Chains A and B, each alone.
Chain A
C-alpha cells in the first residue's frame, strides 16, 4: 500500500525481499546501501542475531528522486529466511507494494527455493494479496557459483508466469540494481494505473 502525501509531495512505497535462508537478501540491501550516495539513503537497520542471521527484518530507506514533482521514497525490507520465523515474515508483508524473490541458484537449495515461494504465496493470501497481481520480480542469486541449477530449470519451477527475472551475484553487486529497478518500475506503473486509491 503506497502512501501518497500531497502535503509534502512524496510517494512512499514498500518493497520486500523474500526468499529462503542464506539466499542473500540482506547482502542485496548491504550492496545497495554501500553504492548509494549519502543524501539518497537513510540508516540501514538490521535486526539480526549474534551470528548475523536476520531475526526480524532489515530496513533501508531510499530516496530515488522526483517524478512529476513528487519525491519518490522506497522502503526496502528483507524478511528472515529461516523456516521457523514464519510469524515474523507475515508481519513484514503487511502493506507491501512490490516483492523481490531472491532465489539461491545452488542445486542443493532448489527445494528450499520452492518451499519459500509457496510460503510467500500463502502468506500474501493471508493478508489479502494475490502474488499474480502484485509487482513481482525474481532474482537468481549466486549465479557465479559452480554448482548452480540450470537456469531453464529454475525458471520453469519458480517463474511459471514469466515475471521479470535476473541473474545476480549480490556479493559483487551484479544484478542487484537491475532487480530493484525492475520492481520499482512495476510499482510506479501500478500507481499510474491505479490512481490515488485503486
Chain B
C-alpha cells in the first residue's frame, strides 16, 4: 500500500530554490503568473501577478484538468499528455508535468508567445526536476532518521479547539 498516508513535505530551502527557478522562468518567458501545483490539487507556490487571482481554485481545477486528460490518455493507450495549452482572447494557460508528480502552470498574454513559453518551460523543467528529486531524498532521510514528527505532540484539545 505505497500510497497510504504518504505525505508531501516542503522545506524553506527547497521552496526558495523553486521560487528562484520560477522567477527566472517568469522573466525569460515574459509571462504573467507561474505556479506549481501538486497533482492532488494543492498549491505549492506561485510567483508573478497573483494578487487578484484565486490561486487555490486555480490549483484545484488545474489538477482536475490534468487528472481528466491523464484519464483520456490512458483510454487511447498513452501514458499521459505531458503538455496542455488553453488559448484565450487575452490570456493563455500552458500546463505541463514536471518530474512526474508536480504540475507547472504558466499564464501569459500577447507579450509572450507559445513558442517562447514552451522553450523556457523545457529548460526550467530540468531545474525543477532536480530540486524535487532532492526534496524527495530529503523527506526520505527525515523519515528514516526516526526523529519524532513535528505533530507527535498534537493533543485532542488542540484538535477540538479548531472547531470551537
Q: Is A38 an interface residue (CB 8 A)?
A: no
Asked, given contacts A184-B162, A191-B151, A196-B143, whether A59 binds B3 with beta carbons under 8 Å apart, the answer is no
Mask: chain B, 54-70; 1 = CB below 8 Å from A; 0 = not: 10110011001001101
Contacts of B6 in A (CB 8 A): 1, 197-198
Check B163–A177 contact: CB distance below 8 A. yes
Mask: chain B, 9-44; 1 = CB below 8 Å from A; 0 = not: 111101110000000000000000000001111101
Binds B, one of A18-26, A61-69, A145-153: A61-69
The B contact surface, by secondary structure, is: mixed
For A197, give its contact among B9, B41, B60 (CB under 8 Å): B9
Check A3–B154 contact: CB distance below 8 A. no
For B15, give its contact among A1, A7, A91, A181 (CB under 8 Å): A7
Check B149–A195 contact: CB distance below 8 A. yes
Chain A interface size band reads 35 or more
Min CB distance A121 to B, Å, is 14
Check A4–B7 contact: CB distance below 8 A. yes
Within 8 A of B (CB), among A100-125: none
Q: Is A185 an interface residue (CB 8 A)?
A: yes
Min CB distance B156 to A, Å, is 8
For B40, give its contact among A3, A72, A177, A189 (CB under 8 Å): A3
Min CB distance A55 to B, Å, is 11
Q: Is A14 an interface residue (CB 8 A)?
A: yes
Contacts of A195 in B (CB 8 A): 143, 148-149, 151-152
Contacts of A194 in B (CB 8 A): 5, 7, 149
Mask: chain B, 93-137; 1 = CB below 8 Å from A; 0 = not: 000000000000000000000000000000000000000000000
Check A130–B4 contact: CB distance below 8 A. yes
For B3, give its contact among A4, A68, A127 (CB under 8 Å): A127
How many angstroms from the CA of A197 to the CA of B161 in the assembled complex? Answer: 25
Asked, given contacts A7-B10, A75-B60, whether A43 binds B54 with beta carbons under 8 Å apart, the answer is yes
Q: Is A133 an interface residue (CB 8 A)?
A: yes
Check B163–A197 contact: CB distance below 8 A. no
Q: Is A166 an interface residue (CB 8 A)?
A: no
Check A192–B154 contact: CB distance below 8 A. yes
Within 8 A of B (CB), among A141-198: 177, 181, 184-185, 188-192, 194-198
Asked, given contacts A59-B60, A198-B7, whether A192 binds B67 with beta carbons under 8 Å apart, the answer is no
Q: Is B48 an interface residue (CB 8 A)?
A: no
Q: Is B51 an interface residue (CB 8 A)?
A: no
How many angstroms from the CA of A192 to the CA of B158 in the assembled complex? Answer: 12
How many angstroms from the CA of A72 to the CA of B42 in the assembled complex? Answer: 13
For A65, give its contact among B8, B14, B139, B161 (CB under 8 Å): B161
Q: Is B142 an interface residue (CB 8 A)?
A: yes
Min CB distance A94 to B, Å, is 6
Q: Can you give 17 A-B contacts (C-beta < 8 A)?
A: A1-B7, A6-B10, A56-B64, A57-B64, A59-B60, A64-B162, A68-B151, A68-B153, A91-B67, A91-B70, A127-B3, A128-B3, A190-B5, A191-B154, A192-B153, A196-B7, A197-B6
List residues of chain B with CB under 8 Å of any chain A CB: 1-12, 14-16, 38-42, 44, 54, 56-57, 60-61, 64, 67-68, 70-71, 139-140, 142-143, 148-154, 158-159, 161-163
